[in-house]
Chain A
Amino acid sequence: MAETIPILEGRDLVQHYKVAGNRTVQAVDGVSLTLHEGETLALVGESGCGKSTLSRLMMCLESPTSGQVLLEGKELTALRPAALREHRQRLQMVFQDPYASLDPRMSAVEIVREPLDNYGIGARQDRNEMALSLIRRVALSPDYANRYPHELSGGQRQRLGIARALALRPRVLIADEPVSALDVSIQAQVINLLADIQAEQRLAILFVSHDIGIVAHLSERVAVMYLGRIVESGPTAAVLDNPRHPYAQALLDAVPVHHPRLRRRRTLVAGDLPSPVNPPSGCRFHPRCPLAVERCRSEVPALRSLSGGRQIACHLVSDSNN
């Protein structure tokens, strides 16, 4: 895995937005990540940590302040819009709100057909059939083909969003909280569908989520973000079972138990996420960190590699096998 070219790579991405009063929101601040064929990388963190901005950067929906995005080794961030368009079809997105991301004036089959028309895929007269087969693929009945989004349930809408994303046979799917708006009994259906499609098409998935349970189930690797930076990453089971960064520990400790017998008194992290407008100096977690020392206030911890494919950005963690 280490030697192959990643299918999608972000290098030192920075996204700063100017806001009123000549201030800057440091939404993403020096993030690198790689995604390989057939792999699911989960991006977890709380609201305001920059995970959605990062996924939009990886999707080239906005240009970064600095840094690069590479698709199969080709730098997308250097391309003009017309050239970028050619590559975009390999990179598709599924959104959180399946209602807001579907045109209410288009029927299901028109929604799935639109990307085929846009990219001139197949003969014109075959495209309806292609759209219908995609609709069947996401386990929607073809009876729904002529219905409009408002006539569909939340789960059905999200299936439609997935069918549209698959229409151009992408190599990478970026899914930003794709099931968090759905009921629990429906979430499992959509998660299983994504897993099946991934296995079938060797898709790489960047899965943005705050739901640790789903991340644990679906992803091979996980990256934990805090205030615009990755604080810890590595194989999902290793990170979730034994988080090393104090923030990752606090985040995982706060996840509700799944059985009343496992209740415990927690050591809760104090306070709220600080504003990304004026983030803390040094390690951005230091004002809330129970272990912080002077160095954490002044010096930004670099993301260092530990054994076992793990990376961590903390001055206080050394590589050991515990």
Chain B
Amino acid sequence: MTAPVLQVENLGVSFGVEPNALHAVREVSFSLSAGETLCLVGESGSGKSVTALALLNLLPPRSARISASRLALEGRSLLGLGERELSHIRGKAISMIFQDPMSSLNPALTVGYQLAEAVRLHGPVSAAAARRDALAILDKVRIPDAARRLDEYPHQLSGGMRQRVMIAMALACRPRVLIADEPTTALDVTVQAQILELIGDLKADFGTAVLFITHDLGVVAEIADRVAVMYAGRIVEEGEVSQIFDDPAHGYTHGLLSTLAVANRHAQRLPEIPGSTPRILGADMGCSFAPRCAFAEPQCRTMELHMAEIAPGHVTRCRRAAIVRGAKSEAGHLAHG
């Protein structure tokens, strides 16, 4: 493995004032290498989007408190950088694409203007050269009839095409890191397949590291090199994509994989995870998932937990990892058959 492009250690984000503060992200650590796709998986409220926004310091400064013991891009710490310095990094070294392209594009400006703006913000380029670059990037993201699209407005494009424009804009400065927050969730499956393939190809061409946030395990199975599973603000398990799917070592990961309906099409009933995701108030001991976990014992709720490495590159925050690993996951089982 090459040196990590992005390193995050002990990231925490809380909103509000103690003792009623909401701890949205807790003790999150991961690193990302060039050309690697790390999928951050979790359900709504698990803290995955807040993690991404915190990396770029895009959370409202009045209400969000961000802490970390290390946050570095190519070895250079991002902690303590001013807004000016950060804005040079955003969009140039680290780009982000969002779930809803319509709300991230300016409806009053043409696609070409917005793309050229992205190019010119990060380097001294003439207007004509920026337009040429914009056209080349639109071609790169396979927008048909790109020259005509440059002079169109966002509302004239389909959802899939808008997301391509967002990707084009994000890649305009050849970023080292692309953060994609549910970029295909609002799209139909045939368009999703096109966009996922596009992101994969661009990653291969530019060596961009991708942090891909999703709740969809099917998307994870398609694109991830590594997977970090989040629950109630924490990463509860992380590993290579094959380790996560074949050898889940956390009760939550196991539960998520077994609810994959595709893998259960012949079952009488879908396996359920009872209950619902908790709100994350003050610091707690024990495992947040324990009340819903099929493998939990009483100590899970009270004993302090740490990440433990169970195989090279595979870590879990689960006391019962050995038991969980013993129980076969349905998805892995079917893929073998």
Interface residues of A (CB under 8 A from B): 46-47, 153, 155-156, 183-189, 191-192, 195, 210-214, 216-217, 250-251, 253-263, 266, 268-269, 271-273
Contacts and interface: CB of A to CB of B under 8 A. Distances in A.
A258 B43 contact: no
Nearest to B144: A271
A185 B273 contact: yes
Contacts of A186: 273, 276
Nearest to B192: A254
B158 interface: yes
Interface in B263-312: 263-265, 267, 269-274, 276-277, 292
A202 B181 CA distance: 42
A195 to B, nearest CB: 7
Given A188-B273, A213-B262, A217-B265, A260 B192 contact: no
Given A256-B219, A262-B335, A46 B256 contact: no
A51 to B, nearest CB: 12
B248 interface: no
A148 B159 CA distance: 35
Interface stretch (B22-30, B119-127, B210-218): B210-218
Contact of B160 (A184, A257, A272): A272
A46 B188 CA distance: 6
Nearest to A191: B270
A192 B268 CA distance: 9
Contacts of B194: 268
B161 interface: yes
B261 A211 contact: yes
B151 interface: no
A99 to B, nearest CB: 13
Interface in B210-234: 215-219, 221-222, 224
B12 to A, nearest CB: 23
A160 to B, nearest CB: 14
Contacts of B271: 188
Given A261-B242, A262-B335, A185 B43 contact: yes
B133 to A, nearest CB: 25
Nearest to A211: B261
B259 interface: yes
Contact of B256 (A185, A211, A251): A185
B197 interface: yes
Contact of B263 (A212, A258, A272): A258
A31 B224 CA distance: 40
Nearest to A271: B144
A268 B335 contact: no
Nearest to B184: A256
Contact of B197 (A210, A255, A268): A268
B15 interface: no
A195 B269 contact: yes
Nearest to A195: B269
B98 interface: no
Leading 3 A-B pairs by shortest Cβ distance: A256-B218, A213-B261, A259-B335
B93 to A, nearest CB: 29
A268 to B, nearest CB: 6
Nearest to B263: A258
A185 B144 CA distance: 39
A260 B215 CA distance: 16
Nearest to A272: B158
Most buried by A among B191, B261, B265, B270: B261
B190 interface: yes
21 contacts: A155-B276, A183-B44, A183-B277, A185-B43, A185-B259, A185-B276, A187-B270, A188-B272, A188-B273, A189-B273, A253-B193, A254-B189, A256-B222, A258-B331, A258-B334, A259-B263, A260-B245, A268-B193, A269-B190, A273-B158, A273-B188
Given A213-B261, A213-B262, A183 B270 contact: no
Nearest to B242: A260
Contact of A183 (B144, B158, B215, B274): B215
Contact of A153 (B241, B276, B332): B276
A273 B188 CA distance: 10
A256 B255 CA distance: 19
B215 A259 contact: no
A213 B260 contact: yes
Contacts of A210: 188-189
Contact of A259 (B43, B219, B270, B334): B334
B102 to A, nearest CB: 14
A263 B332 CA distance: 14
B242 A184 contact: no
Contacts of A192: 269-270, 272
Nearest to B255: A185
B188 A259 contact: no
Most buried by A among B44, B242, B264, B272: B272
A236 B197 CA distance: 28
Given A183-B43, A262-B335, A213 B265 contact: yes
A245 to B, nearest CB: 14
B270 A217 contact: yes
Given A183-B277, A186-B276, A188-B271, A256 B158 contact: no
A153 B276 CA distance: 8
Nearest to A48: B188
A271 B256 CA distance: 33
Nearest to B190: A254
Contacts of A189: 272-274
Contacts of B273: 185-186, 188-189
